[in-house]
Amino acid sequence: MYPTSCDTFVALPPSTEGQYIVFGKNSDRPCDEVQEVVYFPSKDHANEEKVECTYIEIDQVNHTYAVVLSRPAWLWGAEMGANEHQVCIGNEAVWGKESADGDEALLGMDLVRLGLERADTAEKAVDVITELLDKYGQGGNCMEDECGFTYHNSFLISDRTEAWVLETAGKYWAAERVKDGYRNISNEYSITTKIDKEHPKLKDYAREKKWWDGKAQFNFTKVYSFQNTARIEAAGGRHCEGRKLLEKSNGHITAETMMDILRDKESGINMEGMFMTTGSMVSVVPKDPDLPGVHFFTATPDPDRSVFKPFIFVPDIKQLKDTCSPGFGDEDPVKKKPRFQSKPTRKHPLFLKHEVIAAIIDSTRERGQKIVQKMRDLEKQKLAEIQKYLTVGIEDKTLLVHLFPDTVTEEFNIYSKA
């Protein structure tokens, strides 16, 4: 059975309730993998400085933007995140006719982080990612163990005004602009004939490989993807179910709507089993540039048993210690070649507490329901609190420096009384 993973969503006016863009993603990864939520401030860099990504070292830029990321704790990049300019990015694993086997290069998750650190609009993020793809390529094992799990990547990218879908096959790619309505992606190619940007040799390469005769209308998905495999069918089912859930609330999509979609288990979007939803994100970004975006993260597995906690970019934010996994310095497996066969624990404080509570929820129905209800009450309280920031702005930004960690503390309090 192929691992299947991830669904990413975006809704823009008039699909949303108000002048907001709502972004959401479930990160589906191996069930024993820890996902952390981390913050990195903006930073100026020296000329000719390098940055060490998961597998390779690349050229650094002069300035990187502040980012908040949800990422598997063993790697440099991220499954999803946002930056101080309210750009949000999530990636998906995709497979097609172009082989995903190759040398270690940039992971799709590295490209998510690099896009957020280097782009202040969604379209610029498309340019950043495709330029890096052309210069360094994509490749490398996408799990910490040596199972040879490799894939190409698609990306859903949004900002205050629009969204972009970027789908790749090796160094080749196509991108589609989304100006309104809603869009979702899963583990399959989805761009067809509407292509707003593309690799300059996208069509030439397809002709060379005899995937396209050069006469029929060019359809990226038909030309570059496999047809009728078990992996594609599974992804197609989730993609279709996700679209149905968006359509169900079309015109009234809110942060809470998106959280409900990410919690939906019947559709397969909230995944269980050996591959499961290990982290979730929902962002609400007003079109008004004077209003802040709010980014919610669980930092724990299964959004149905987790709290979406709000984060807002304000000055003087420190590292989010309770959702930051232990570091291992030079002995970290990601820095070692060959890797350690047995990895040290990467469980951050919130993950450790949540692991205990999840077991209680599973084993004691009545007690578990009470815990989940308290978690939902905390989440609704935070949703109500941030609504004023989304409508009238922030008077005193110093009050929000600890918004996310304070919410984690309130979550701890629920667990301690359970």
Tell me the residue ranges of DSSP E strands in 186-245. Answer: 197-198
Taking the alpha carbons at both ends of the chain, their separation in whole angstroms is 38
Quick count: other Cβ atoms within 10 Å of Cβ 161?
A: 15
Please name the residues in contact with 293: beta carbons below 8 A apart, sequence gap of 6 or more. Answer: 82, 86, 160, 283, 284, 285, 286, 312, 313
Residue 365 burial class via C-beta count within 10 angstroms: exposed 0-12, middle 13-18, buried 19 and up: exposed
Is residue 147 flagged as an active site residue?
no
H-only helix segments in 253-295: 255-262
Residue 192 burial class via C-beta count within 10 angstroms: exposed 0-12, middle 13-18, buried 19 and up: middle
Residues in the chain, overall count: 418
- 241: tokens are 């179910």
C-alpha–C-alpha distance, residues 236 and 228, integer Å: 10
35 in Cβ contact with 297 (< 8 Å): no
Sign of the Cα pseudo-torsion (137, 139, 142, 144, in order): negative
Please name the residues in contact with 5: beta carbons below 8 A apart, sequence gap of 6 or more. Answer: 27, 28, 29, 92, 93, 187, 271, 275
Q: Which of 6, 53, 88, 142 is catalytic?
A: 6
* Cis peptide, bond prior to residue 14, ω within 30 of zero: yes
109 in Cβ contact with 154 (< 8 Å): no
228 in Cβ contact with 188 (< 8 Å): no
C-alpha–C-alpha distance, residues 400 and 378, integer Å: 17
- Taking the CA atoms of residue 285, residue 260, residue 277 and residue 191 in that order, the dihedral angle to the nearest 10 degrees is -60
Q: Which phi and psi (to 5°) does residue 269 adopt? A: -70, -40
Supply the residues annotated as catalytic: 6
